[in-house]
Amino acid sequence: MKLAGKIVFITGASAGIGAACAQRFAQEGARLLLAARRMDRLEAMTPSLKQAGSPEVLNVALDVRYREQVQRVLDGLPEQWRAIQVLVNNAGLSRGLSKLHEGDIQDWEEMIDTNVKGLLYVTRAVVPGMIERGAGHVVNLGSTAAHLAYPNGAVYCATKAAEFRVTEGLRQEMLGTPVRVTTVDAGMVETEFSEVRFRGDKERAAKVYRDITPLQPEDVADAIVWAVTRPAHVNIAQVLMTTIDQANSLLFHRHKD
C-alpha cells in the first residue's frame, strides 16, 4: 500500500507517539489530518511535516472525550479532507497510580472518557465513510497493560483491555469489507505519558525510565506505518512490542550500564 496523497487522521497528534506518527506518515507523502487539544503544538509541527514530505497538513482542535465535538469537527471538514484512508486512534492517557479503593474518581472518568469513549466516538464517525468508499485502515493504540494488569493501575489497564476488545470486535465486523483493523500494543515508551500520569511531576516521571532503555515514539510509529503499508489483502491484527528490558507489564530489567 502506497500512502502518497492519502489522508491519514491522527488523534492526540501534538506529542509523543502521535507526533512521531505524523512525522513518519509525512515521510510516506501522506496528507495529514491532525487532531489534538493543543493547537499551538500542531501548528508548530506543521513546517517540519511539510519539509519531511507531506503535501498538505490540516490541524483541528479536538478533545475526543466530547461526542458532539467529535461529530461537529468531522462533519465540518472541507470536502477534500473527508476521504480518510487511515485512522490512528492515538489519543489516550493515564492519571494517577493508586490502589483502586483509594483512587481519584475524576482520574477514572478522564481515562475512561478518553481511552474508551473517545476511541468509540472517533471510530463511529470515521468508519462508515471507509466502508462506503471501499477502503480504509483503523489503527488503535493499545498497551501491554491490556494483557496483564499491574498494581495501582487497574482502571488504566481496564481501559486498554477495553480497547483491545473493541478492536477485536470491529475487526470481526469488518469481514466482507476492505477495511483493515489493527491494534498496536506497546510497553514502556519514553513520552510525556508519565508526566501526564503524575500531573507534571517530572522528577517522579523520570524514575519510571531509570536504568531502562525504553522504546521511543519513533519505534511505535515505524510499527504502525509498517502495518498500514502491507498489501491490501494483509491485515496485521496485532503488534505487541516492548523494549528488550521489558517482558510484560510487571517484569523489567533495570541495569546500570
Answer whether residue 145 is part of any domain: yes
Answer whether residue 146 is part of any domain: yes
**Each residue of 58-72: pLDDT tens digit?**
999 999 999 999 999
**Each residue of 186-207: pLDDT tens digit?**
999 998 877 888 788 888 878 8
Answer whether residue 102 is part of any domain: yes
CA angle 65, 67, 71 (to 5 degrees): 125
How many folded domains does the chain comprise? 1
Answer whether residue 249 is part of any domain: no
Return the active site residues: 156
Answer whether residue 250 is part of any domain: no
Answer whether residue 162 is part of any domain: yes
Answer whether residue 126 is part of any domain: yes
Nearest to 148 by CA among 239, 17, 255, 240: 240
Please say whether the beta carbons of 138 and 87 come within 8 A. yes
Give the domain extent around 110.
Answer: 7-241
Work out whether the CA dihedral 218, 222, 228, 234 comes out positive or negative: negative
CATH assignment of the domain containing 32: 3.40.50.720
Nearest to 197 by CA among 256, 123, 114: 114
**Each residue of 175-190: pLDDT tens digit?**
999 999 999 999 999 9
Distance (Å, rounded) from C-alpha 93 to C-alpha 156? 8
Could you tell me the pLDDT band of residue 36, with boundaries at 50, 70 and 90? very high
So what's the pLDDT on residue 228?
98
Answer whether residue 1 is part of any domain: no
